[in-house]
Amino acid sequence: MASVTYDHVTKKYGDVLAVNDLNIHIEDKEFLVLVGPSGCGKTTALRLLAGLEDITAGEIRIGDRVVNDLAPKDRDIAMVFQSYALYPHMSVFDNMAFGLRLRKMEKAEIKRRVDKAASILGIEALLQRKPRQLSGGQRQRVAVGRAIVREPNVFLLDEPLSNLDAKLRVQTRAELSKLHKDLATTFIYVTHDQVEAMTMATRIAVMSQGVLQQIDTPHNLYDYPANKFVAGFIGSPAMNFFDAKLVKGSGKLVVDAGAFKVDVPKKSTKAYEGYVGQSVTLGIRPEDIHHTKFTPAGITPAKVEGKVEVVELMGNEIVTYIKSGNANYVARVDPRAEYKYGDKVQVIFNSDNIHLFDNNTEKAIR
């Protein structure tokens, strides 16, 4: 097994910086997810590691070995692509064994590896079928199995679930997490789906426009985003943002968003004092906005008046779009809430969980 290190890695396509000075150290046996919107550089970073793209500057190491100039076949990695890329005329067994045969491996060893991978993935009964006889989920397992049989130091997965339907994505997500634990191998996974990232990763690296924005555990990314981009990208629905001003009155700090005001919790007063009188961005997650009748105990409430514009009943919750003054925002409230279009309502902001961001740098104010 092996660690992976991106050391000041840069990739340019002409004048376009696809990856800009990327520094990440991925521990042995870690499940790291690279996440971000389309065009953020995450897939390019993976392809640089795989040797499918040349590095413009910097160094990539697998373990202690610099792999910049090594051919992909010599890097001891296996990659699962977004497209399954199975040979249609070959059986499942032959698809999984193909790469091993190219390496002139003994037949007995090939059979051992394919049978073992098929057992892990639950596709033993499919080994003699052709790809056209398989469902999308089964083809995905075959593609993963083709990587497993190589017994590599590092698995690279480039949006492998994007071709599956919603239910199958959830199921396969759980299977990949279990597979990572069973194989005890380093996994590097690329996705634009932050739900996949949050549920699977040991750590998440959030990228935007080729730049690493933050790398941390899912819990810390959610609770302590480094900047406005990360705060808005992690979480579904996304964090609400409001133009506001930080003011001081009656011995306390208040975030004045125009249509409403929120008292700053005492734990944050010291961090925010330097911004008194300045314009800031207030952030609060939809799940921290509550119906007055179903507000959790123990929070510091801030009452906000608004008007209901859209109601989406999700079964286990109600996603409500509300307007207060000129501000539009989303709340995830208790499914017993009886909100209807056009209702004038009072909601409760949990002021313990507000976030403030510097308007110049967009960095979180800590």
Token code pair at residue 297: 């105990």
Instruction: Fill in the amino acid letter for 97.
Output: A
Span 314-330, average pLDDT: 95
Q: What is the pLDDT of residue 82?
A: 82
* Model confidence, pTM: 0.91
Q: Does residue 49 register a pLDDT over 70?
A: yes
Q: What is the pLDDT of residue 137?
A: 86
Q: Does residue 317 register a pLDDT over 80?
A: yes
Token code pair at residue 221: 């990314």
Q: What is the pLDDT of residue 208?
A: 97
Give CA–CA dist 86/193, Å, rounded. Answer: 24
CATH class of the 240-358 domain in this structure: mainly beta
Widest CA span of the chain, in angstroms? 81
Q: What is the pLDDT of residue 171?
A: 86
Confidence category of residue 304, pLDDT binned at 50, 70, 90: very high
How many percent of the chain have pLDDT more than 90? 83
Q: What is the pLDDT of residue 301?
A: 94
Domain 4-233 has CATH 1.10.110.30: no
- The 10s digit of each residue's pLDDT in 162-209 is 877 888 888 888 888 998 998 899 999 999 998 999 999 999 999 999
Q: Does residue 1 register a pLDDT over 80?
A: no
In the chain, alpha helices (H): 42-50, 92-102, 107-121, 136-148, 166-183, 194-200, 218-223, 228-233, 269-272
Instruction: Fill in the amino acid letter for 141.
Output: R
Residue bearing the bigger pLDDT, 363 or 270:
363
Confidence category of residue 121, pLDDT binned at 50, 70, 90: confident
Instruction: Say which DSSP state 335 is in.
Output: T
Choose the weakest-confidence range: 4-8, 39-43, 56-60, 163-167. Answer: 163-167
- The 10s digit of each residue's pLDDT in 205-216 is 999 999 999 999
Q: Does residue 289 register a pLDDT over 80?
A: yes
> CB of 19 within 8 A of CB of 53?
no
Q: Does residue 148 register a pLDDT over 70?
A: yes
Q: Does residue 267 register a pLDDT over 70?
A: yes
Domain segments of the chain as ranges: 4-233, 240-358
Span 302-310, average pLDDT: 96
- The 10s digit of each residue's pLDDT in 323-356 is 999 999 999 999 999 899 999 999 999 999 999 9
Query: Residues 6 or more apart from 194 whose CB is under 8 A from it?
Result: 35, 233, 234, 235, 236
Q: For the stretch 106-136, what's the b/e string if a residue is b when 16 or more beta carbons lie within 10 angstroms of its beta carbon?
A: eeeebeebbeebbebbebeebbeebbeebee
> CB of 345 within 8 A of CB of 322?
yes
Span 82-105, average pLDDT: 92
Q: What is the pLDDT of residue 114?
A: 95
- The 10s digit of each residue's pLDDT in 227-266 is 999 999 999 899 999 999 999 977 889 999 999 999 998 8
- The 10s digit of each residue's pLDDT in 16-30 is 999 999 999 999 999
Q: If you count them, how many residues does the chain have? A: 366
Give CA–CA dist 10/15, Å, rounded. Answer: 12
Residue bearing the bigger pLDDT, 28 or 267:
28
Average pLDDT, the chain: 94
Q: For the stretch 245-264, what's the b/e string if a residue is b when 16 or more beta carbons lie within 10 angstroms of its beta carbon?
A: bbeeeeeebbbbbeebbbbb
